[in-house]
Amino acid sequence: MSRRLRSLATIDDCAVLETVLQLGREVGEEDAGVHVLGQCVDGRRGQGTLLAQTRSMAAEFAPFGIRVDALAPGTPDTDMSASERAPLAPLMPLLVEDPPPLDPGRTLRRSVRMSISTTAAPVPRTDIPKAPLLDTLRALFGGTSQRIDMLSRLQRLYDEKGPVVSQSAGFFQLVNLFGPDANRFVLLDRDDLFSSRKPWMAIMGRIFPNGLLLRDGEEHKQHRKIMHAAFIRPALRQYLERMNPMIARGLDGWRARRDGFLAFRAFKELTLDIAASIFVGVDLGPETTRMNGVFEDLVAASMSRLRLPIPGLEFHRGLKGRAFMVDYFRRLIPQRRAASRDDMFSRLCRAESEEGARFSDADVIDHMVFLMMAAHDTTTSTLTSMTYELARHPAWQERLRDESRNLGKPWIDFDDVEKLEGLTWVMKEALRRYPPLPVIPRVALRDFEWEGFRIPAGAMVVLSPIHTHHMREWWPDPERFDPERFSPPRAEDEKHTHCWVPFGGGVHLCIGYRFAEVQVKSIMHQMLLGLRWRVPEGYRMPVQQAPISKPLDGLPVLFERLA
Ligand code: HEM
């Protein structure tokens, strides 16, 4: 039985040989029978070089008893899912045959995936490097300061202790796994090792029980299949049509405010109004105002540290808010099941999986309450960080404004979403620097092994997108706002399948990521056409990174109205 030591790493081919040699030496010294698999992922050019490299690797590794192979056509690659393998199929034959003539017009961009496995299995260690107790206690029970700069702490743990770090206090054990390989291993969860329900129930279960993220296994799969009906392209197209005039109305309100506003607050109001219309199907008015207020109470309560149902406390207001929303949706369900309306609530009421499964009333209610939460705080956070970076980088703001003007439309259509290339890069860069969800928790259902350590069942395993997004190993100059890193010639996010993970991955990959893209881009497009904004010279947004990234001061921006 072979043991995977380092699963897929994707690296530039110029670094291939060196990296493989390094990995090979590390492994070769400990184990016999190491097997290296090289596979060209984006090998439009230069397969010859890759083959030559593979051959020289083979020679280099021979003394260590290591075998090096390129993938033969049709070789089953157990590391990759069917959907990942499909686009590679045409490339595979090229790896073992002579390369075709080079097409001089194509960009030279290649990368190599490799995996290393050994035949001998060393005993995993149990002495996981530990964070100092005081540091752990401060992180668990400390106040807002711990939520503000989570990144520095994670960087310190990684730099001092390595890619696996344990934090324990009493019965509680939390294990940080750092880096894209860990993200891939945990999120894809090929061996059903992890529960998403357990940690998320502990975090928000009293306010948002039974949301999609709070379900595991077969039940989660079935619910996701049914919910999919509310996120298909025709549905997104209709949501956007409904959203555009609402954004225009919202922006008119901002323009009337003369010359400035708190961006975070303004986006929150706008996304809540949009949610009331798109998600619930109610128009602006007293009903929306009431619902938005209740909804804010729910979100505040889910993040509250003091979880006692005492009247007057945030948490109590949240519980009352939940009861209000449950009652509100329950009363509307019969009517929405009967009518063919196109808001998300009505779609969930009617949604059916291919096998004909449908949601019960309780399911619809739980999913609706969770969806509204999942959608609005995350998009508000993204819009705010984009607004900030564009204020600090006026050249980028002008570039995007030109791009939007060139589209020649006041509102974008669904088919325009992909066309706004610069806006795509800026959105991706904002999500890299300020991922709305900085960490992703799971609970281990069984003991498992990672990076040579045995991690016990019951441990809370924490991935950190915010840390991965700032790893120097993957992102040159990671603190710099540099949207071009997502442009095709650089494509830094494609160096590894899981180095850019603001939407998570695997079975719990954010179901609303396309919705978020549509919403963020349509708001930004209208903003760029209607306003030019800035922040005072030298201003730095004070960010609270957790639990959801947001500015502590609401991000005050100054603006100028454009004709
Ligand atoms: C920029 C905006 C957004 C970001 C950064 C984001 C991020 C994420 C992340 C990281 C997860 C996975 C969490 C985990 O694995 O523990 C997730 C899951 C989810 N998100 Fe989003 N999200 C965004 C917008 C939305 C929107 C607009 C919706 C709904 C319209 C939505 C609905 C969901 C749902 C239902 C899940 C659970 C999926 C599942 O368990 O299968 N999200 N989101």
CA-440 nearest atom, ligand 1: 16
The amino acid that residue 251 corresponds to is: L
Instruction: Give residue 285's region: left, alpha or beta (phi > 0; psi -120 to 50).
Output: left
Of 108 and 377, the structure prediction assigns the larger pLDDT to 377
Structure tokens at 71: 């993938």
Identify the pLDDT of residue 123: 75
User: How many angstroms does the Cα of residue 553 sit away from the middle of ligand 1?
Assistant: 25
Dist. CA 341–CA 363, nearest whole Å = 19
User: How many angstroms does the Cα of residue 451 sit away from the middle of ligand 1?
Assistant: 28
- CA-nearest residue, atom 41 of ligand 1: 508
- CA-nearest residue, atom 36 of ligand 1: 510
Identify the pLDDT of residue 447: 96
Identify the pLDDT of residue 310: 80
Dist. CA 12–CA 422, nearest whole Å = 24
User: How many angstroms does the Cα of residue 303 sit away from the middle of ligand 1?
Assistant: 17
Q: Quickly count: other Cβ atoms within 10 Å of residue 238's Cβ.
A: 15
User: How many angstroms does the Cα of residue 347 sit away from the middle of ligand 1?
Assistant: 18
Give the tens place of pLDDT for each residue, 384-443.
Answer: 999 999 999 999 999 999 999 999 999 999 999 999 999 999 999 999 999 999 999 999
Of 64 and 555, the structure prediction assigns the larger pLDDT to 555
Give the tens place of pLDDT for each residue, 468-489.
Answer: 999 999 999 999 999 999 999 9
Q: What is the DSSP letter of 277?
A: I
CA-279 nearest atom, ligand 1: 30
- CA-nearest residue, atom 11 of ligand 1: 510
Contact 399, 291 (CB under 8 A): no
Average confidence (pLDDT) over 492-504: 96
- CA-nearest residue, atom 9 of ligand 1: 503
Identify the pLDDT of residue 120: 47
* Substitution site in 510, 518, 545 for ligand 1 pocket (most atoms within 8 Å of beta carbon): 510
- CA-nearest residue, atom 42 of ligand 1: 512
Percent of the chain with pLDDT over 70: 77
- CA-nearest residue, atom 37 of ligand 1: 213
CATH of 222-561, picked from 1.10.20.10, 2.40.30.10, 1.10.630.10, 3.50.50.60, is: 1.10.630.10
The amino acid that residue 531 corresponds to is: L
User: How many angstroms does the Cα of residue 508 sit away from the middle of ligand 1?
Assistant: 8
User: How many angstroms does the Cα of residue 62 sit away from the middle of ligand 1?
Assistant: 47
Closest CA to 125 of 447, 462, 464: 447
Residues 6+ apart with CB under 8 A from 104: none
Burial class (CB in 10 A: 0-12, 13-18, 19+), 487: middle
- Ligand 1: which residues within 6 Å by Cβ? 196, 212-213, 224, 371, 374-375, 378-379, 382, 436-437, 440, 502-504, 508, 510-512, 515-516
Closest CA to 107 of 50, 173, 42: 42
Q: Quickly count: other Cβ atoms within 10 Å of residue 202's Cβ.
A: 12
Q: Quickly count: other Cβ atoms within 10 Å of residue 55's Cβ.
A: 12
Residues 6+ apart with CB under 8 A from 328: 291
Q: Quickly count: other Cβ atoms within 10 Å of residue 107's Cβ.
A: 11
* Substitution site in 196, 231, 378, 524 for ligand 1 pocket (most atoms within 8 Å of beta carbon): 378
User: DSSP for 287-313?
Assistant: HHHHHHHHHHHHHHHHT-S-----TTS
Identify the pLDDT of residue 145: 64
Closest CA to 378 of 556, 512, 266, 525: 512
Give the tens place of pLDDT for each residue, 363-386.
Answer: 999 999 999 889 988 999 999 999
- Given pLDDT bands bounded at 50, 70 and 90, which one contains residue 169? confident
Give the tens place of pLDDT for each residue, 260-294.
Answer: 889 999 999 899 889 889 999 987 677 778 888 88
Half-sphere exposure of 436 (CA within 13 A, CB side): 21
Structure tokens at 80: 């990759």
- CA-nearest residue, atom 16 of ligand 1: 440
User: How many angstroms does the Cα of residue 139 sit away from the middle of ligand 1?
Assistant: 25
The amino acid that residue 109 corresponds to is: R
Structure tokens at 552: 């502590």
Q: So where are the chain's domains? A: 3-118, 222-561
Q: Quickly count: other Cβ atoms within 10 Å of residue 62's Cβ.
A: 11
Half-sphere exposure of 164 (CA within 13 A, CB side): 22
Structure tokens at 279: 């998600």
Closest CA to 212 of 355, 366, 432: 366
- CA-nearest residue, atom 13 of ligand 1: 504
* Residue 99, helix vs strand vs coil: coil
- Given pLDDT bands bounded at 50, 70 and 90, which one contains residue 103? very low
User: 501 pLDDT exceeds 90?
Assistant: yes
Alpha-carbon torsion, ordered 264, 271, 309, 208, to 10 deg:
-130
Say if residue 199 is preceded by a cis peptide, omega within 30 of 0: no
User: 246 pLDDT exceeds 60?
Assistant: yes
User: How many angstroms does the Cα of residue 510 sit away from the middle of ligand 1?
Assistant: 4
Residues 6+ apart with CB under 8 A from 134: none
User: 255 pLDDT exceeds 90?
Assistant: no
Give the tens place of pLDDT for each residue, 453-467.
Answer: 999 999 999 999 999
Q: Which of 56-60, 347-351, 402-406 has the lowest mean pLDDT?
A: 56-60
- CA-nearest residue, atom 12 of ligand 1: 504
User: How many angstroms does the Cα of residue 509 sit away from the middle of ligand 1?
Assistant: 7
Average confidence (pLDDT) over 145-157: 85
User: How many angstroms does the Cα of residue 1 sit away from the middle of ligand 1?
Assistant: 37
Dist. CA 424–CA 441, nearest whole Å = 27
CA-370 nearest atom, ligand 1: 35
- CA-nearest residue, atom 24 of ligand 1: 375
- Given pLDDT bands bounded at 50, 70 and 90, which one contains residue 301? confident
User: How many angstroms does the Cα of residue 212 sit away from the middle of ligand 1?
Assistant: 9
Phi, psi of 171 (to 5 degrees): -75, -15
Contact 103, 46 (CB under 8 A): no
Identify the pLDDT of residue 58: 58
Closest CA to 183 of 405, 8, 367: 8
- Given pLDDT bands bounded at 50, 70 and 90, which one contains residue 68? low
Give the tens place of pLDDT for each residue, 507-532.
Answer: 999 999 999 999 999 999 999 999 99
Strands 440-444 and 460-463: antiparallel
